[in-house]
Amino acid sequence: MSDYGRQTGPAQVEFTRIFDAAPARVWEFLVDGEKRKLWFCGGSTDDHAGGEIVFEFDHRRLSDRDPPEKYASEEIATHRGRIIEYCPPHRLVFTWFEAEGEGESTVDITLRETDGGKTELHLVHTGLAGRDMLVGVLAGWHGHFDLLCEVVNGPRKSDFWARDGQLEKEYAARV
């Protein structure tokens, strides 16, 4: 299995990743804002369908270097989504913000325990508008999942922005 995501439709991407932890442990890093900010972004997650999920991005926190120019102007960017399905520790579906005025997309995450007590995470992100968005989303999820692999069992070691730049180039060639 490859760690790389793939475009599975004109506006859809998918990832399947394996994490060396039980689904309940990975779930904590999806819904607990303090744990989620170690690999992605902070914020809060209501524990029911119809509730709100808040994403508080601090682009300086995941790297020792400054964020790229397209993110440098934002100190902390806050976005809100709606929880469509909340079934701990196996399924989380929520709306995702897109560029201002371009609506929203949907993120569907399923966790499944594998033989050996590991977790298979399957993510489907639908409703993405345009090639640039597809490339950015693929690179972003990939880099963030790399960090999640690290922090679910210990401290972060990687530099997110160094990896993100490399991944954007790779996905630009793939999409």
Domain ranges of the chain: 6-174
- Condensed to tens digits (0 to 9), the pLDDT of residues 56-101 reads 998 778 888 777 777 666 678 889 999 999 999 999 999 998 755 5
pLDDT at 104: 86
pLDDT at 102: 65
The pair of structure tokens assigned to 68 is: 């790229």
Q: Are 9 and 135 in contact (CB under 8 A)?
A: no
CA distances (Å), origin 86, targets 15, 57, 72, 128: 19, 22, 33, 22
Which residues of the chain register pLDDT less than 70? 1, 71-74, 99-102
pLDDT at 118: 97
Q: 6-174 in CATH: which number?
A: 3.30.530.20
Q: Are 94 and 81 in contact (CB under 8 A)?
A: yes
CA distances (Å), origin 2, targets 5, 17, 27, 85: 8, 8, 22, 27
pTM of the model: 0.93
pLDDT at 74: 63
Burial class (CB in 10 A: 0-12, 13-18, 19+), 128: buried
